[in-house]
Copies of this chain bind each other. A is one copy, B any other.
Amino acid sequence: MDKKEKIFDTALKLFVKDGFHGTPTSKIAKEAGIANGTLFHHFKTKDILIKELYLKSKEEINDYIEEHIKGDLNPKTKFKALYISSLNWSIDHSDKFQFILLFQSSPFLKLIPQETLDQQSQSYYKVLNECYSKNLFTDLPLDYIYTLLLNHFMGNKEYIIQNSLSQEERKNLINTSFDLLWRMIS
């Protein structure tokens, strides 16, 4: 495996486990099986490593989701596809997803310009706005619906990871959870 890739992998795992400040660069290098200097050859600073790791992970989930919602024309099925594909990715890449959350609620978030952040969430908002403008949602503020949606999502993600369901059970639960959500917000 490419050493830079190996650094990414190891760093992500350690950051999720012990936090950013709790993970020394020396430990990353050691566990990745490379020398200290090599790490700083690929990433000028620890901050840059953290930032690139975030951008990489975020790009992966975004690509995956966009791949799964494109083509769908009906707003509701598009919304459902968004919900389900996000859920699937976050379960299948739980460390990466956890890392994204960690980063987003950390002071390192400031390393990313607002413009980039907006751009990254564009596709979600587009789907949401379409449903909203077509009055598919109940008569509550859109940001409140977003809140309900987001946390329903997070809870179900956590539940599925925790209970390591079979592929079939998982599919069923995800569908059930979407129905529960839709019943709540439509």
Contacts and interface: CB of A to CB of B under 8 A. Distances in A.
Contacts of A18: 107
B155 A150 contact: yes
A78 B99 CA distance: 37
A163 B18 CA distance: 32
Contacts of A106: 19
Contact of A148 (B20, B155, B163, B183): B155
A83 to B, nearest CB: 14
A22 B184 contact: no
Nearest to A176: B140
A41 interface: no
Interface in A155-177: 155-156, 158-159, 163
Given A22-B20, A106-B19, A147 B151 contact: no
Contacts of A67: none
A148 B20 CA distance: 30
Contacts of A107: 17-18, 22
5 contacts: A22-B107, A144-B159, A151-B152, A151-B155, A184-B184
Nearest to A156: B147
A139 B156 CA distance: 17
A158 B163 CA distance: 26
Given A18-B107, A19-B19, A184-B180, A147 B143 contact: no
